[in-house]
Amino acid sequence: MEKFFNTAGPNKPDIHYTLLPMHRVNWLELSSLIGAQKYFILHAPRQTGKTSLLINLMHFLNEQGQYRALYVNIEAAQAARSDVSSGMATIVSAMGRAADIYWKDPHWRQLAWQETQQAPTQGKDSLTGVLQRWSLASDKPLIIFLDEVDALVGDTLISLLRQIRAGYAQRPEAFPQSMILCGVRDVRDYRIHRSDGEIITGGSAFNIKSESIRLGDFTQTDVKALLQQHTDATGQTFEPGVLEEIWADTQGQPWLVNALAYEACFRKPEQRDRSKSVTVEQMRQARESLIQRRDTHLDQLADKLREDRVRRVVEPMLKGEELSPDVPEDDRQYCIDLGLIVKRDRQLQIANRLYQEVLPRELTSIVQDSLQGLAEQPWFVLQDGSLDIDKLLAAFAQFFRENSESWLQRYAYHEAGPQLLLQAFLQRVVNGGGRIAREYGLGRGRTDLFLQWPFTEQGFTGPMQQVVLELKIQHKGKPATLATGLEQTARYADQCGADSAHLLIFNRDPSVAWDEKIYQEKHSSGSRVISVWGM
């Protein structure tokens, strides 16, 4: 069977292109922690390779013969919520099934089966009992990997952490020598809400933790090595620029790397012609397909945007403003743990270009649906197939005047509403044959859009039309906003090599009449002529 790029579940090296997970962590550090009888945390965003790492590590340790290691996924206990007895029974049962699958030893399979059968009757401290009995019965120190720990809720999570802490002093003779708790978040960041409203910090129930290890994304060298596995197996090569395109889109996020490569190399029958190299344009088409299809990973990410603690961090980025000092550190860390943002060059940024594209499109999906007929009307396309950008922006100004008040009230992200409304309007247009690149982030003072529009005439494909649009909110009066905006727009247009440049200034002052807000002017900045649109 031909190997392929994996996008679902743990990697299996016999069928998936695989980077050995143990090469992605500091094995010397990790093995030292295990040898020193430490309990620690491994955390990383979803679909980063945590499970593959733990399963691989379990097999490696068992093959070495010094320890008896076991990987257990305890996510099913989430359904128990604060029903501790039910939650512990589910966890013990999961441990029994895991031992039956992975250890394949008749004695241990019998012991695992007994624990599974007895779990519902063993009470709230059943986990401590199982770990003690297994440790005493084993001729080797036990190493336990518990995955999806942060999926647990309320008292079930508190009980898990406290039962582990209760047996800690008996290690390694009567309790596991080392335990790794794995999830999206560091255990110190767990916030547990009891039924009476009290907030308990999970770390206080697990203060035996010695380290927190974060599993990182692929490096650019890793991405190159993964693509090379495909070339070695099939002979299909990747054209120059493909690696750089994937890296810009993903910044090494493992699921995105695999998903883009699978989309470009396997999704359609014509892509399986291994005599043809994979092109940069195919990778761009793959990115668009992923976004439009809203695969599970991207859908889960989009769902997180509805949470207030995510909105408080992301909304200032969409506006290009500074993060409010009132935003809690826990909100920022939560977004980092999700993999949505990163701290790069000492500044918080959206993690990669693909996420930067997904966020505004997801937040404006309702508006885009309401503009269903926009791209079907040829009113914004000239006879030669090029885009009439002046006509398009004039139409948006009228649309914004008529609809902004009602639309902005619907947005959870209403502070970034003007920028999002324009992007929704333009997205409906480019869905008919163009592309938008977006640049935004904390402290930029604006949102930059780079619109690329291919046009055709009688079957002849002409040059790509390239348009820069810069969006600014008027805070300090028109003259100051205009002066800064013209300089920024000209610089961005020169950077992109744009054919035309447009500065859009949104006046949010409700005391100013619309007739004063709406205008269109021409200004110069250096050698650039810039169209300025008031909204």
Instruction: Please give the average per-residue pLDDT across 200-218, as a whole number.
Output: 68
Query: What does the block give as tokens for 351?
Result: 């993690």
Percent of the chain having pLDDT more than 70? Answer: 91
The confidence band for 374, taking pLDDT boundaries of 50, 70 and 90, is low
What does the pLDDT look like over 280-320, one tens digit per residue?
999 999 998 888 887 777 878 778 888 999 999 999 998 88
What does the pLDDT look like over 464-482, one tens digit per residue?
889 999 999 998 889 999 9
Q: Which residue has the tokens 């030893």?
A: 105
Does position 483 have pLDDT exceeding 80, yes or no?
A: yes
Instruction: Please give the average per-residue pLDDT across 493-516, as a whole number.
Output: 92
Does position 86 have pLDDT exceeding 70, yes or no?
A: yes
The residue with greater pLDDT, 251 or 10, is 251
Predicted pLDDT of residue 90: 92
Does position 193 have pLDDT exceeding 60, yes or no?
A: no
Q: d(Cα 100, Cα 408) in Å, to the nearest integer? A: 56
Does position 199 have pLDDT exceeding 50, yes or no?
A: no
Instruction: Please give the average per-residue pLDDT across 95-116, as a whole number.
Output: 84
Instruction: Please give the average per-residue pLDDT across 30-57, as a whole number.
Output: 89
> Crossing angle of helices 417-430/389-410, nearest 10°?
130
**Domain limits of the chain?**
21-214, 220-293, 299-534
Does position 353 have pLDDT exceeding 80, yes or no?
A: yes
The residue with greater pLDDT, 191 or 313, is 313
The residue with greater pLDDT, 193 or 338, is 338
CATH of domain 21-214: 3.40.50.300
DSSP assignments along 460-475, one per residue: EE-PPEEEEEEEEE--
Predicted pLDDT of residue 293: 83
Q: d(Cα 10, Cα 55) in Å, to the nearest integer? A: 8
Q: d(Cα 132, Cα 504) in Å, to the nearest integer? A: 67
Q: d(Cα 464, Cα 494) in Å, to the nearest integer? A: 16
The residue with greater pLDDT, 462 or 277, is 277
What stretches of 103-241 show up as alpha helix (H) in DSSP?
A: 106-118, 126-137, 154-167, 220-234
Instruction: Please give the average per-residue pLDDT across 314-331, as a whole number.
Output: 88
What does the pLDDT look like over 63-73, one tens digit per residue?
999 999 999 99
Contact of 448 with 485, CB cutoff 8 Å: no
Query: Average pLDDT over the chain, rounded to whole?
Result: 86
Mean pLDDT is highest, among 1-10, 102-111, 170-179, for: 170-179
